[in-house]
Structure formats: structure tokens, C-alpha cells
Amino acid sequence: MDSLVQENGDSQASQADRQKDRSETGAAIEFRSVTKKYGSHTVVENLSLTIPSGKITVFVGPSGCGKTTSLRMINRMVEHTSGEILVKGQPNTESSPHELRRSIGYVLQQAGLMPHRKIIDNIATVPYLKNVPKKQARAQAKELMKTVGLSEDLANRYPAQLSGGQAQRVGVARALASESDIILMDEPFSAVDPVVRADLQQEILRLQEKFHRTIIFVTHDIDEAIQLGDYIAVFATGGRLAQFGTPEEILREPADDFVSGFVGRDRGMRRLTFASAQNLPIHPLEAQDTPWQKWQLKIKDGMPAGWETEGRTIPGGSLFVEGGTLRDALDSVLSSPSGWGVVVDRQGKAIGLLNSDDVLDATEEERYRRYGVA
Ligand SMILES: Nc1ncnc2c1ncn2[C@@H]1O[C@H](COP(=O)(O)OP(=O)(O)OP(=O)(O)O)[C@@H](O)[C@H]1O
Ligand SMILES: [Mg+2]
């Protein structure tokens, strides 16, 4: 990717400046009392919201509450009825819709790929529009395929020949290829299965660590919002902004009944997402008896391969990846047939076990720490 940026004629220094700009916490986008009406029907009502640069801001809310409309007003795919939208300090009405769409990346639910163009050309769409020489644009596109975890073999396929997850990765690569500071994503992962979706979410977080773009991500899934968002804007039915804050703020102090209802009853569980599990003892792989049963963790090539008891092998539950959260730890012990959570390193090798009592104690402590009651 580094070489990519330079190929557009940027010096190392300006590239570094740009990276710095992105990570500064100024406003990338500002909605000032923005309203959108279709006839007499108000779909976004008096929206005021400041979206910081270099962060992921998630718009979340039930169907029809105006998330997509709000997103599309940013790059004027939808024109607002009143109020003002500033993009990097400039009213967006001062740029043509055409300019805005070139300078702001956009990833759609169905990836929005052009069916008659090869994957590589889909990724290079914006560079082509900007007259980057074809050879160079393709080289960049190939590089980006690697970045988003796509095999180069797919370069000459057509969108219909990809899985849903692969198509979404192409959509993300295309948005990165535009090199825009701002990327809009409208439910990009809603059409893929939960496993692929979790992968793509991790991928976005990984890419974001590297590129620090301003990402505005629409979803109606509160878990996805918590997972990805540095900030979350909760929209209520009728196009009203119910709350804006960090995931933790929203879970800790929902602004009203609508938000607490939307965040759900298991928000206590969700909050464990923010609690570190670093103080949990990791027990050696051998210590796995429970008072009522003997369990043996099976290991194949260093990786956990299920639990064995009384001659039977039972598939393991979710694994706890080193450095995970208390919620991950709780998931791992609750889903494990033996009651022992399996700790793996980042390469997936089994390195130890979590004891369910330790995890439950830590959860209690966390609650005490937050509420001051046992
Ligand atoms: N072109 C249009 N003409 C009239 N009404 C529209 C138009 N586009 C959207 N709407 C209405 O505006 C409201 C908000 O739509 P929007 O697509 O922004 O919702 P959303 O929050 O993205 O919903 P979803 O989660 O289902 O995607 C809906 O009631 C929708 O029917
Ligand atoms: Mg929508």
C-alpha cells in the first residue's frame, strides 16, 4: 500500500502529512440541523452531528430510520432539504456531486460491483477515472487485493464468479483504491454469513489501524456497531438522532428508553467487550479435570481439535485468542463442553486454559468496579 500512495506522485513527506491529518481528531463531516423530506414525509429530522476524522463512526438504528439517507446526503447522492453538511469544513453544496463521489469512497451492501468488468478493473475504477495509467492502476489494484486478503488469482474473474464475502472484500479494496480520506459503507456485510462477517469486521479493524480513514459505517446490528465503532450514532424511527457517543457511553448510559430498548437487555454482557481479560490466570493445558468428569483437550499440529471424554470426542467451543476481552473469555468457557476455555495465540496454537470460576469471578469484579455493588 505504501508504494501505492507514492505512485500517485506523492512524496514520502506529503504522504506522512496526510496520514497525520487523518489521525488528528478534527471534524471530517458536520451535519448542521439537516432535514430531509420527501413531500410532506420527514425522513431525517434536524440532524446535528459531528463526525471526527480518522475514526469509525457507525450509524445504527431500525429499518427505515434514515441511516442510508443520512449517509447519502454526505456525497449528495441524496440532496438535503434544509440545513448544512460540511465535508472537511466546506459546505458540500460547494462541490459538484460528481466531485464528491470521486473524492469519497463508497461501499454498498451488495458490493455494487460492475458485473461486466473484471475484479481488477472494478478495484481500479477510481484510479482509471483519475487517469492513472492503466498498468499502474492495475498494479495498485493487485497490491490491494493482497491487502484485503484476496488471492491474486481472482483478478481476472467477474463479480458473479465470487462468493459474497469475496465480493465485499473487492468493494473494500475499491474504496481503498480511491485513496479518499472518507469512506462511506452502507451495510457492507449484511449479505454474508456470520463467520465471513466476523472475518470482514476484523479485516476492517486491521486496515483501519494501518490507514486511519474516516469511515462512516451503516448497520442495523448493534453488535456490529459496538465491534467496529469508535463512535456510534443511534438513530430512532422518524429520522431522529437518539444518541451519539462511544460504544461504552451508549451501553453505560442509554439516553432514553428507545436507546436502552435498542441496545437490548443483554447490554451488561455487551459491556464485557470493554473489560480486559489480561488478569485472568492461564492454566497449563494439562489441568483439565472437573470434579465430575475427566476431560482431555485434543491437540493436532499444535491447534485445539476438540475435547475427549470417556472415549468420545466433542467439538470445542469458541476459542479465546490471547489478548481478548472478558466477553470473549466468558464466551469461551460457556461454550466449551468441558467448562475450560481454550486459549490460543494469534497463530491459533493452543497455549493454555481458562477456568470458568476465574472468569465468573472476574465478571463479578467488573460489575462491582462499575456499579459499586456486589
Ligand atoms: N426516494 C425516496 N422517496 C420517498 N421516500 C424515501 C425515499 N428513499 C427513502 N425513503 C424513505 O425514507 C425513510 C428512510 O429510508 P432509509 O433508506 O434512509 O432508511 P434506513 O435507515 O437506511 O433503513 P434500512 O435499515 O432498511 O436500510 C424510509 O421511510 C424510506 O421509505
Ligand atoms: Mg439503509
Reply yes or no on whether the pLDDT at 373 is more than 60. no
Protein residue with least CA distance to atom 17, ligand 1: 68
What's the longest Cα–Cα distance across the chain? 72
Give the distance (Å) from ligand 1 centre to CA of residue 248: 28
- Over the stretch 84-136, which tens digit does the pLDDT of each residue have? 999 999 999 999 998 888 888 888 766 678 889 999 999 998 888 888 999 99
Q: What is the pLDDT of residue 4?
A: 36
Ligand 1 probe mutation, 31, 35, 38, most atoms within 8 A of CB: 38
Give the distance (Å) from ligand 2 centre to CA of residue 220: 8
Measured from the Cα of 39, ligand 1's closest atom is 4
- Over the stretch 275-287, which tens digit does the pLDDT of each residue have? 788 889 999 987 6
Protein residue with least CA distance to atom 11, ligand 1: 43
> Is residue 3 within 6 Å of ligand 1 at its C-beta?
no
Ligand 1 probe mutation, 65, 77, 218, most atoms within 8 A of CB: 65
> Is residue 43 within 6 Å of ligand 1 at its C-beta?
yes
End-to-end CA distance of the chain: 50
Confidence of residue 16 (pLDDT cuts 50, 70, 90): very low
Range list of H helices, the chain? 2-7, 12-23, 67-74, 97-103, 119-123, 125-129, 134-147, 164-177, 194-211, 222-228, 247-252, 257-263, 267-271, 326-335, 356-371
Protein residue with least CA distance to atom 25, ligand 1: 63
Q: What is the pLDDT of residue 290?
A: 63
Rounded Cα distance between 168 and 162, Å, is 9
> Is residue 68 within 6 Å of ligand 1 at its C-beta?
yes
Protein residue with least CA distance to atom 4, ligand 1: 38
CA torsion angle 88 93 95 99 (round to 10): 90
- Over the stretch 287-340, which tens digit does the pLDDT of each residue have? 666 666 688 899 999 999 988 888 888 887 788 988 888 888 988 888 888 889
Measured from the Cα of 38, ligand 1's closest atom is 4
> Is residue 67 within 6 Å of ligand 1 at its C-beta?
yes
- Over the stretch 96-106, which tens digit does the pLDDT of each residue have? 998 888 888 88
Q: Which ligand is nearest to the CA of 44?
A: 1
Give the distance (Å) from ligand 1 centre to CA of residue 155: 35
Rounded Cα distance between 152 and 158, Å, is 13
Q: What is the pLDDT of residue 217?
A: 95
The more confidently predicted of residues 272 and 240 is: 240
Of the listed ranges 22-36, 231-245, 352-366, the one predicted with least confidence: 22-36
Measured from the Cα of 187, ligand 1's closest atom is 27
Rounded Cα distance between 130 and 112, Å, is 20
pTM of the model: 0.72
